[in-house]
Structure 1
């Protein structure tokens, strides 16, 4: 419920601010285009973009850098047993929420859906512990859940609730946590997570329905609503076309990931200072306004009224009942643009305007993701894919005139799924999310074929964008599969021999000598072999691993069996543990 309420606050804030922003811009354009002073609405547009982005980027850069981006790579690491500092703090949630509102209102090529997953994870981690590190308050409740296993399970449910609130897809939320998140799963966690996702969707639906003036109607299950498709039929001979579109999406996704990786490396090397990060974000916001302004005035997607073309080369004026389609894509939020591309009738967009938008927005989204702002990549990727998917339908209609298969909305949806799958490499969860968002289960086969083709094609060149950012941050996350070149390498080929081990009880001199002569960071603790064996064929049964820094702490503080008063005192403080105490703690925790 809390995750859904946060999503409602973010969505309502973005809608109210965006409505006022684009209404004001429209009025300024109508006012100054007759006077020939188009630079005035252009400058106003730049200011309307730069100011909120400056606020959001400043919060991320100076207050809480971990709140940047979508937060999905950090949550994925946390769910796989790796603790990322401050990733589930309430200050992170505050900066994330304010930052994503500023980023979307500022016209950046991003969406609010991805950050909702991180927000849900923070909410789950916070309320399940009954305390706050940010406010230094402990309510003294829920102490049973204060261990890594329980907290990780709650974060899994929170991430699923965030997906459910973002897309109105409770089943997709569960599958997202299973496919992209936690590596520890069980049946009990499945139904708890699903129940949390359903409650999240219902709460958001009820609040947004009341906000839109139809309380109880429940037509707003998620922040992203792709709309219902009335006729969504496909023929058997269209399946190869869908697979080919998946291959294209995989190629475009691989190129997108590679360019974004190079850009991220450049930022890590040269854009280190906070003010430079804020400056880059503001520059991208200004560039977004500039590109939108140029495309709106120089791409003709409507019939002119008959003004002098030398005076008004932009062909902006349209007859009654018509509008400039290129302007409509830029003069609204990215979510609304996705719905337009999916549901606009045929012949609404011409090929040149679609191709221009794809080329520009593809590069702009690549530049945007990785900025020091809170923003996700789901929406810009869906928008890019929907545009080139609709372009495919235009091409089919041109190649086969009079065909009934070239439904633009259908191919726009397949293109959107292919593009997103090529970037993030999700299959099952993304299929279910799209089906739940559109409310059409009959399109499961084309979607899964498209996403598998996109994943296989993209994986041939590089990894998904989330795994790429995990590697860039240096987090030691063990992947599901080994690297391609090490499939035939055995562990014995990279191990040292003889194995340097420690017994459960060792003398100080031996430990000091071991630390001095070796450079290993960890040492296995094993039971000694049976004394009556004539030949030692084993190093003994392994009991755990102790790290070099733990041994150093023990030696510096002279914590030995002879000086340890009792097990309670030893187990209450890490500095008071001898080797056997650390071993027992590792075995039973």
Structure 2
């Protein structure tokens, strides 16, 4: 079409060039996608829009289809599949016999010291390798995102890790093949524009790394290094997996203490003091290693300014009068979280019933990716939210329909990684966003995150929940600014942080670990109290309607995991009503033929041995100590054959 030749012309390379006699008005600024300074005709305008739409959709769909096919072909079980007939339990008890006792006596105290040193060394390796994997994921996502914006195995795995730590054996949940698929999947999912985060899969990745290192072999690769053979027991492997999960949290958020508390609160049913120290050691090593690598990558070696993959930055203090507002925001977060869980539950049930073929899973993921790209672009084109480009708010600011020296605030949210969008909502100055743009973004991203969690792609829930909560939290802060224009204590970024915490707490229903994680991520201890208030209110409000998202998905997979407390209002239900009488049992001394018949007639391989809880007088002290200590903590007495109460001299108290 005709072009204003007084201003510009096309050179041989096809790019726009300004004539020498024209005034040079352009400065280094945002990428001009649909700039109004060029006088192009009707046809050029629409051609540019069509090219951008096709490029965005094609890129997103291609990336999503690639990772979906990769994951669905790989035989991993890091997603919710159709319920299996039986779930087996891991053997966390120490099998004590004469061979074991004789071996320990023959090896002596040096063997005990060697084993303890090996434990600490493995936890060191867990922290270092988990941090290296986290850095690889973060750097790859950042580099791919640069390429994308310049050119225009399933879920997080946390429910499966939680089940494993509670003694449920889930096949292939901590295999090296699972780790490979998880890393590739989370990179392509985030770069592809899906509402997914990299923090959740890092927890699963840390668990896989811990399981692989501690065993000294790889079942997937069929390689045995013949090291650490004395740790090839379920109870030893369980402790290392707990450390790996904590190291994953520490690497994701730069929160070593939060990682330990996360592993304690959400995962491990078996805990002791020495394990706490080893897990904390692995978490600190993971945080330090990640800090060194990322600081070097970003050109600041030795400064150690990158504590984790996600750093929320510093916040100003809060006023006492804001505490009631934080409580209300916690209730809103609980309501939004319960709504998220309810919709995702219904959607997951639908997927389990109807979307069972691999090609349907690929098609579903591609459809969600296309919807995300289309609606995001429509929002950027239709909403004119221009702000001055004083300082680049993002790595790739987009001008869209804005004039020179301005950028589109709507495009700034979509054209960056979710982590960068979170930091923008936390720290953008007041007036950086409009009500309508932020409201529509909140609604769209909430629905996209609901649809994305449970897709046949790798992706976490932490960042989508935080970004959704930050959006409606900043809306709340903007509303207060409008109602109280003369109040200096109202800061939209502060309310974005509380909203993010409330949304995340209302979805996953964690309180202690989330509070510490968010405190460490912000580096501000003064926000401990408001964050704790919002998280507690979010959990209480959400628990009225349903359970946390991880517990919901565990129940959907029919994993027999024990809860901390019995169901409420269950006092009128008697033991005879819930006990199963058709239990196949074995006696301590059993005929071989009976055992063979039972194995042929039953589909499972775990059978209770019916016998009073007795222990031989010749049992070793470590075994008796662990048993008597567990009984004593539950106020259970120990008696001999004459029914006389016994007392173990190493323990204090009249029982056990």
Question: Above 0.5 in TM-score?
Answer: yes
From 297, 303, 327, the counterpart of 1:217: 303
From 250, 263, 267, the counterpart of 1:181: 267
From 212, 223, 226, the counterpart of 1:126: 212
1:103 aligns with 2:184: no
Partners in 1 of 2:216 and 2:204 — Cα distance?
Answer: 19
Q: Is the 8 A contact 1:29 1:41 kept in 2?
A: no
Deviations 1:518-541 (A, max 9, x none): 9999875445xxxxxxxxxxxxx2
Distance 1:502 1:40, change over 3 A: closer
Distance 1:401 1:63, change over 3 A: same
Distance 1:141 1:335, change over 3 A: same
Partners in 2 of 1:466 and 1:498 — Cα distance?
Answer: 31
- Give the structure 2 partner of residue 72 of structure 1: 158
Partners in 2 of 1:498 and 1:264 — Cα distance?
Answer: 32
Deviations 1:157-183 (A, max 9, x none): 000110011111111100100011111
The TM-score with structure 1 as length reference comes to 0.79
Higher helix share: 1
Describe how 1:53-452 pairs up with structure 2 within 5 A. Answer: 53-65=64-76, 66=78, 67-229=153-315, 231=316, 233-302=317-386, 316-452=400-536
Deviations 1:407-444 (A, max 9, x none): 01100000000000010111011111111111101110
1:44 aligns with 2:73: no
Deviation at 1:485, TM superposition (A): 4.0
Distance 1:246 1:84, change over 3 A: same
- Give the structure 1 partner of residue 647 of structure 2: none
- Give the structure 2 partner of residue 484 of structure 1: 568
Deviations 1:312-332 (A, max 9, x none): xx9943244321101100011
Distance 1:481 1:29, change over 3 A: farther
Partners in 1 of 2:382 and 2:237 — Cα distance?
Answer: 54
Q: Is the 8 A contact 2:399 2:407 kept in 1?
A: no
CA root-mean-square deviation = 2.9
Distance 1:54 1:134, change over 3 A: same
Partners in 1 of 2:567 and 2:376 — Cα distance?
Answer: 42
Q: Which sections of structure 1, spanning at least 5 residues, go unmatched?
A: 1-24, 306-313, 528-540, 545-589
Deviations 1:128-174 (A, max 9, x none): 10011011111111011100011000000000110011111111100
Partners in 2 of 1:296 and 1:498 — Cα distance?
Answer: 62
Deviation at 1:44, TM superposition (A): 0.4
- Give the structure 2 partner of residue 458 of structure 1: 542
Partners in 1 of 2:418 and 2:237 — Cα distance?
Answer: 34
Deviation at 1:403, TM superposition (A): 1.3
Q: Secondary structure at the match of 1:486?
A: coil
Partners in 2 of 1:269 and 1:501 — Cα distance?
Answer: 35
Q: Secondary structure at the match of 2:406?
A: coil
Partners in 1 of 2:327 and 2:514 — Cα distance?
Answer: 16
- Give the structure 2 partner of residue 579 of structure 1: none
Distance 1:269 1:33, change over 3 A: farther
Partners in 2 of 1:373 and 1:512 — Cα distance?
Answer: 43
Q: Which sections of structure 2, spanning at least 5 residues, go unmatched?
A: 1-29, 79-152, 390-397, 616-656
Deviation at 1:275, TM superposition (A): 1.0
Partners in 1 of 2:314 and 2:380 — Cα distance?
Answer: 28
Deviations 1:486-544 (A, max 9, x none): 244342454478999764335689889999999999875445xxxxxxxxxxxxx2569
- Give the structure 1 partner of residue 126 of structure 2: none
Partners in 2 of 1:207 and 1:513 — Cα distance?
Answer: 58
Deviation at 1:39, TM superposition (A): 1.3
- Give the structure 1 partner of residue 110 of structure 2: none
Q: Secondary structure at the match of 1:323?
A: strand
Deviations 1:102-121 (A, max 9, x none): 10010001111110000000
Partners in 2 of 1:414 and 1:462 — Cα distance?
Answer: 22
Partners in 2 of 1:160 and 1:149 — Cα distance?
Answer: 17
Deviations 1:231-284 (A, max 9, x none): 2x2222211110110000000000100000110111111110111101111111
Distance 1:487 1:425, change over 3 A: farther
Q: Secondary structure at the match of 1:61?
A: helix
Distance 1:468 1:526, change over 3 A: closer
Distance 1:517 1:349, change over 3 A: closer
Aligned residues: 498
Partners in 1 of 2:386 and 2:59 — Cα distance?
Answer: 27
- Give the structure 2 partner of residue 555 of structure 1: none
Partners in 1 of 2:198 and 2:602 — Cα distance?
Answer: 50
Partners in 2 of 1:194 and 1:44 — Cα distance?
Answer: 46
Deviations 1:347-387 (A, max 9, x none): 11111111111111110110111000000111111111001
Partners in 1 of 2:344 and 2:601 — Cα distance?
Answer: 44
Partners in 2 of 1:485 and 1:119 — Cα distance?
Answer: 39
Q: Is the 8 A contact 2:32 2:400 kept in 1?
A: no
Deviation at 1:473, TM superposition (A): 1.0
Q: Is the 8 A contact 2:34 2:399 kept in 1?
A: no
Q: Is the 8 A contact 1:303 1:315 kept in 2?
A: no
Deviation at 1:59, TM superposition (A): 1.1
